[in-house]
Chain A
């Protein structure tokens, strides 16, 4: 079975400081990994994904994530936080089987609060 852990329910960071939102995963084969962001009472928006290749993935709004296979982690990072980055962030893992249903498992989410 595959799983995703987001160990922090909430992360507080001062505006302008770097931010990190942690994610670890468990999957039987090679993972596809995703980060999504959700603003209050809205749907999820895709930020970035890792499929293969370079371990550092760049995405929307200046976010990036580093895939670390040995630590089974996919932490989300941004060099300088903005107040507008305050939202709920979800990490997700997808089965690498081709064809058929590709199950996506989501973490429980981390609330990011950027303090002015």
Chain B
């Protein structure tokens, strides 16, 4: 079945450490996104990528980095510069250019900083 796979599901990090969250999709979608979810704040866009080797900052990109070397993969690194990284992280994809196309989401990764 096609879908988006995020790993790990749960991750614990000590302050000062970088961590990388994996996102892989087999939907053949061009566009991929990373969102951060905090209670009562909805979803906030961190980074997005419309094609391979290209990505753009979203609304809250500070302290995060991404790469898009393959169409299927869009990993997110939470760096030590992110002051409040504890959150639920969601990866999504959609077909670029599709009129009114919905987002497809992974199951999320919950990061806790100890």
For B97, give the chain A residue with the smallest CB separation: A99
Residues of chain A in range 35-56 having any CB-CB distance to chain B below 8 Å: 36, 41-46, 49, 51
Contacts of A46 in B (CB 8 A): 102-104
Contacts of B63 in A (CB 8 A): none
A53 to B15, CA, bound (A): 51
B90 touches A34 (CB 8 A): no
Contacts of A9 in B (CB 8 A): 40
From known contacts A43-B90, A98-B97, infer whether A34 and B108 are also in contact, taking CB-CB under 8 Å. Answer: no
Contacts of B110 in A (CB 8 A): 41
A41 to B112, CA, bound (A): 14
A44 touches B42 (CB 8 A): no
CB distance from B31 to the nearest CB of A (A): 8
A32 touches B100 (CB 8 A): yes
B105 touches A109 (CB 8 A): no
Does A94 interact with chain B (Cβ within 8 Å)? yes
CB distance from A53 to the nearest CB of B (A): 11
From known contacts A90-B43, A106-B43, infer whether A42 and B107 are also in contact, taking CB-CB under 8 Å. Answer: yes
Does B41 interact with chain A (Cβ within 8 Å)? yes
CB distance from A88 to the nearest CB of B (A): 10
Does A14 interact with chain B (Cβ within 8 Å)? no
CB distance from B86 to the nearest CB of A (A): 14
Contacts of B50 in A (CB 8 A): 100-101
B residues at A contact (CB < 8 Å) = 4, 6, 31, 40-43, 45, 48, 50, 56, 88, 90, 92, 97, 99-100, 102-108, 110
